[in-house]
Structure 1
Amino acid sequence: MLLEALHHYQANITLDNLDQYLRDRLPELCQHHWRPIQTPLVVIPSEDFRQQLILPTAINSSAKKKATIGRSKAFISKARLDTEDAQAKDIWNSTARPRQNTTRAVVEKRSNTSLIPMTHSSSNQEAPKPTAVVPYPNGPSQADTAPTPWWQHLLFWGGAVMVLALLIAAVVLRNRDAFIPVPVAKEAPNSNGNASSGASLNGSSQPLTTLAPSRLQANQVTLDQAKHLLRPNQATLFHQAIIQTRNIKSSDPLYQQAQKDIRRWNEVILDLAEGRADKGYYESAIAAAQLVTSDSPSVYAKAQQTIEQLQLLSKQQQQNQGIIQAAKQQIKPYQATSYSRAIATLRQIPPAQPEYPEAQLLIDQFSRTIYLMAQSRAARGDIQLAIQTAANVPAGTSSSEEAKKAIAKWKQGKR
């Protein structure tokens, strides 16, 4: 756009002219190219520079000449392009005239109509110099009509044949087993049946050896996937690993390793079940022990025995929990006899059964409560009632000795 402004104003261009030209021309270009309207911004140091010529005087005169010559050359180039278009159109229509005449006519027409200097306010503008007519050859160039050398055709088709041959060779080498027939072993003419069976076994051993690497790889993948399932303290994941490892058959290469892993994982499941039973979680322990599979006979038999014991302990646990609940319901505040009855109920739980430690803890708490009630009554001066209350403290508890000493002291009239 700056070049357009220079061509428009030529030597007389000023900052004011350049500013005005850009303000008029830039919005037109934006609308023409479907772009947002842009407004140029020209920074001028002061108003004195607005009317000052941009180009110096010496350069202005040479710029006029160069601008005139540049326009002449531009018109000659455009005339040459128009001449080529006319020649192509004449060739297709088979009515072409000699190209030399057409070129000269077009150039003369362009010279008459376009090579006219623009009117300008400057009086020093020079007239354009006459332009030369550049002849253009009539016939097509040798580069367009020269035939392709024979060696290029040979190189092209030879390369294509070599590429095709390489592709066919690659396919044959990749699938060579399908193209080579497998020889069938002929039966030996022998009356002995063992010889024929031996030959058949030898013949079948070859495909087995070829399938061994693939089976070995598949078995290894199965074992790795099973091991990735394992998580500590999760019996179900060990069971899932065992189920997945079962896919390895007895004829597979890693069958022995798979059986060792299955046995070890069954032992881990049984250990988890016993650990839950030690904490009193019998139902969870039974569920874990039931996950032991029959792939390991010795571990499976031990798991079955453990399940029977855990079922018995679970039943006793439920019964003893019912006894403890009944004892707690017998308690009535500030009634020593209710605590005594609750203690008697708790003593129904045998020492070797589940919930026995819980029952002993409650017995000690209830005995301590009875002793404290007796002390409270003695402090109020009700010695006789305090002696009766302390007598309800059962023997063998943590408060029984203190209750006996208190009773002896109260009988002597001491507090």
Structure 2
Amino acid sequence: MDLKLDADSFDLYVTSSFDVAYALSRALDLVNPLINNHHQRVAFIAGSIAAEAGMSRSEIEDIILASLIHDIGVVMESEFLELADVSDKKGDSEYCHAIVGSHLLSSLDLFPNLPALVKYHHSPYGGEINHLAETCDEVIPEGAMIIHLSDRIDVLLHRGEPALDQRIRISENVNRFKGTKFSPEHLAAFNRLAERESFWFDIEEQEKYKLLKHTFRFSHINMDIDKILETAKLLSRIIDFRCVFTANHSAGVAAAAKLITEKLGFPEKDCKSMMIAGYLHDIGKLGIPSAILYKQGALDEDEKLILRKHPYYTFSILNTFQIFDKIKNWAAFHHEYLDGSGYPFHLNEERLDLGCRIMAIADIVTALTEERPYRESMPKEQVAGIVREMVESGKLDSHVASAVLDNFEEINDVRQASQAEEMKTFERFKDTIMRNSICKKNMRFITALQ
């Protein structure tokens, strides 16, 4: 085998903030088919209302980006069903996911204005913010009010019925809350849009990516490899920080993969590329029900089949970015084996390059050596036995396995240090969330974090 890593070449990569947010949005919609394309529809509605209300280009862009990921703080998929409830009896529980989402986004400097928009996207126009505010000078952003209205409009839409046929009912519903839940100015903008048949046809348009790209303008972002690495680390927290059991898994895989790549003699740039793949390898788990992800016991056969979808979702999400052509494979193929017995693509050694082989063993070694709720971490001898057996059965690459076993203590030390540091970050995140009185009352969320 030709031992070339052949990483993607990107001294400087130009992408758009929209592409990053849209990829995450697609992942969120995987959680429950009942909310399929919800975030994209809300983004179009909110962007249209903001434009009709005369807001600036940058304000419209922020509103659309926040709309695309406004429910990113949802911990349990059942919360989506509650959020789809059009009654006015949900109480304070609907605010917790908004608080969580705002804190998940707060460290991602690609989106500096989005945390506040996400935090207040369920706050009514005429409502108090004391229960959400963390400083005395916080105000509800106008964009958050528009997202709140747009979210309500989409929730009121009945799937399977023409949107145009529902405009009178929806308009009457939201206008009942003029000056209380919704801003009179924003309702006036919506009412003007509602008169246009094209507005309702656009809501039904399936190609939301093209619709949003062609209707609105978005900023471009210049990213070098270090910026991409930092962004990948923060994106991994969006999935890992949903539960204490997984809070530092991706950090461990990334650290192990990087050091294995170093031991194989590759330059720093290739090692960073492998680390990016490590941070992103499980991002497809956004599409897996949390009851399966965080189950403390063994999964049954049906649950295992559902879990096997997550590498496919990782591939689909990363496919949005051309830069990730190689990294996408390394991240998504981490459960593939050289003999073709892996999942979900059943690729064999001819299709699995060195990066894929490194990632597969980095994930296995990390999973075996980290503590899980249902078992303690495995000692070196036991891990080495499993790795050797998988090499002998034709599943893992012998060259990569030798590098791992020859440097096991160092790799394990680096893995542990990385995961310990990430756990500190998670604990700070958890403490910040739990200081909020709303989240303190949400037992479902408390259970997940603890």
- Fold shared, TM-score > 0.5 on shorter chain: no
The structure with higher relative contact order (CA 8 Å, sep 6+) is 2
Greater CA radius of gyration, 1 or 2?
Answer: 1
Q: Which has the higher helix share?
A: 1
TM-score band (shorter)?
under 0.3
